């Protein structure tokens, strides 16, 4: 297997606005109150998943600030975690209001944040290539 399996080639010159670069750390900080709620309710699996998302978001932020090409991989990891979280939330939600709440969280928060993290990671890799 070649070491150059994933080469990033620019398909457009558009880059995300600079203010989106702070979104991963802001999302990580926003997770803290939710983690406290989950911990109080003894929801250990969800606490572990959200702590993993918290760490991945902070890692992505650190790599973006360093302008590291590894931000591409961190962005993909965060996006995968967020998409998996959204899917698990929907699959585990009860009927009625809980599933509606899970769908709203997925479509309004988790999946858009996943797309932004992918975009930021791709942009960081393009700038360093």
- Asked if residue 93 is part of any domain, the answer here is yes
DSSP 94: P
Domain that holds residue 124: 21-128
CA angle 109, 112, 115 (to 5 degrees): 145
Helix (H) / strand (E) containing 98 = helix 97-105
Q: Is the pLDDT of residue 88 over 70?
A: yes
pTM (two decimals): 0.84
- Asked if residue 10 is part of any domain, the answer here is no
b vs e for 116-127, b when ≥16 Cβ sit within 10 Å of the residue's Cβ? bbbbbbbbbbbe
Q: Is the pLDDT of residue 89 over 70?
A: yes
Q: Is the pLDDT of residue 108 over 90?
A: yes
Q: Is the pLDDT of residue 4 over 60?
A: no
- Asked if residue 47 is part of any domain, the answer here is yes
- Asked if residue 80 is part of any domain, the answer here is yes
Of residues 84 and 15, more confidence is placed in: 84
- Asked if residue 121 is part of any domain, the answer here is yes
Q: What is the DSSP string of 26-51?
A: HHHHHHHHHHHHHHHTT-HHHHHHHH
* Contact partners, residue 84, CB within 8 Å, separation at least 6: 49
- Asked if residue 3 is part of any domain, the answer here is no
- Structural domains counted in the chain: 1
- Asked if residue 77 is part of any domain, the answer here is yes
- Asked if residue 89 is part of any domain, the answer here is yes
Rounded distance, CA 14 to CA 30, Å?
A: 28
Condensed to tens digits (0 to 9), the pLDDT of residues 21-75 reads 889 999 999 999 999 999 999 999 999 999 999 999 999 999 999 989 999 999 9
């Amino acid at each position: 297997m070649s070491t150059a399996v994933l080469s990033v080639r620019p398909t457009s010159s558009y880059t995300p606005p600079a203010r989106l670069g702070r979104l991963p750390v802001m999302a990580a900080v926003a997770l803290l109150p939710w983690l406290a709620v989950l911990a109080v309710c003894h929801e250990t699996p969800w606490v572990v998943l959200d702590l993993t998302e918290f760490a991945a978001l902070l890692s992505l932020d650190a790599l973006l600030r360093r302008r590291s090409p590894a931000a591409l991989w961190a962005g993909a990891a965060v996006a995968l975690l967020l998409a998996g979280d959204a899917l698990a939330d929907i699959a585990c939600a009860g009927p009625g209001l809980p599933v509606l709440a899970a769908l709203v969280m997925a479509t309004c928060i988790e999946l858009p944040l996943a797309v932004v993290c992918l975009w930021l990671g791709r942009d960081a890799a393009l700038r360093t290539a």
